[in-house]
Amino acid sequence: MQWLIYGANGYTGRLIAAEAARRGLQPILAGRDEAAVRALADELGLRWRQFTLDLPGAVVEGLRGIDLVLHCAGPFSATSAPMLEGCLATRTHYLDITGEIDVFAHCHAQHTRAQEAGIVVAPGVGFDVVPSDCLAAQLHRDCPWATSLVLGFEGGGGFSPGTAKTSVEGLGHGGRVREKGELKRVPLAWKTRTFTRDGVDRMAMTIPWGDVHTAFVSTGIPDIEVYTTASPKTIASVRRLRLLGPLLRMQFVQRWLKARVERSTKGPDAQTRDRTQAYFWGEVRGSGRAQVRRMVTPNGYALTVSAALGIVQCFLDNPAPDGGYYTPSQLMGPDYVLELPGVAIDEPRPDNPPAATG
């Protein structure tokens, strides 16, 4: 199988490419910046290609002879659809590392086309959303009575440029939750609540994380909220941004903010990635019962590397699944995350978690 990493010269793409080379997996590296891609390929002893995503013909030509793409070039709101169209045209399996709800929804909408093309379409094979999707699927498997799901996480180490730009895009569009099976737009930091870690309560706020889409596909649980930990000061600041929504959606404001990100955000270095972790909470309720499960993982970027390459390795070693759209837990099973290095989970137990507040 010939496979390709697109956006290999970006922050996360470079980490994945280096680890793939260390494992002897021999991907083809690709991106729009010829000099950067070629330099990285020479450094790692790998083949390379250059093509952009703004011309469909260029994408099709760039994917010629490729069986699988691991797409790492964000923001995926701009790059996912053209890459996916190229994959559908060339019958190339599509993986990416997005966490954007609308990208998941667009990929999901191509399910029938992917079946007809005989390709797997599996977005979100990194930190977004492998650990949280597997956690949701485990809880649904063990608690089939669940009618509501709350996911929360606390990351560490800071953002990459791509993740920061994606966050900028989301500022003007508010939050998102799922109610009665339907996606619902809500204000930024719509609800707050606490999660307990090591006996200490952590304040958290709702965010439009990808699981608002994917966890419903994986579990069918109709009510879903996702939280991230934040200080009361940060939550207050985010809520003040609600008044600036129309301004934050303007293209010139978006360009200015993203330019600032480009100048100031470099992503965590190797030492920071090695010493930081992420924590996840999953809670389900239904039929008068509740259950909580907690999980610790490596730094989000380290987990993205191991999770994405683990899925690629599965394609390299086994016949590909039937064509269509898959969430990570549908593709790899609910316990896939537990196979990754540095992941540990508590035993499930009954609990009475605190309710969220507006």
The CATH number given to whatever domain includes residue 211 is 3.30.360.10
pLDDT at 256: 82
Q: What is the CATH number of the domain that holds 38?
A: 3.40.50.720
Residues 147, 283, single domain; the answer is: yes
6-27 per-residue burial string, b: 16 or more CB within 10 A, e: under 16: bbbbbbbbbbbbbebbeeebeb
Residues 157, 227, single domain; the answer is: yes
The CA distances from residue 163 to 13, 54, 58, 202, in Å, are 12, 21, 26, 23
pLDDT tier at 348, thresholds 50, 70, 90: very low
Contacting residues for 184 by C-beta, under 8 A, at least 6 apart: 176, 177, 178
Question: Model confidence over 63-110: pLDDT tens digits?
Answer: 999 999 999 998 899 999 999 999 999 999 999 999 999 999 999 999
Question: Model confidence over 275-311: pLDDT tens digits?
Answer: 999 999 999 999 999 999 999 999 999 999 999 999 9
Residues 47, 74, single domain; the answer is: yes
CB 96 within 8 A of CB 81: no
pLDDT at 268: 81
Distance CA 121, CA 326 (A): 6
Distance CA 305, CA 291 (A): 30
pLDDT at 241: 85
Residues 326, 287, single domain; the answer is: no
Element (H, E) at 293: strand 289-298
Q: Which residue did the predictor score with more confidence, 257 or 32? A: 32
Domain extent at residue 308: 3-126+302-332
Question: Model confidence over 222-281: pLDDT tens digits?
Answer: 999 999 999 999 999 999 888 887 877 788 887 887 788 777 777 788 898 899 999 999
Residues 284, 262, single domain; the answer is: yes
Residues 196, 307, single domain; the answer is: no
In the predicted model, what is the mean pLDDT of residues 202-228?
96
Question: Model confidence over 178-203: pLDDT tens digits?
Answer: 999 999 999 999 999 999 988 899 99
CB 86 within 8 A of CB 116: no
CB 355 within 8 A of CB 193: yes
pLDDT higher than 60, residue 53:
yes
Pairing of strands 28-31, 48-50: parallel
Amino acid at site 12? T
Residues 86, 192, single domain; the answer is: no
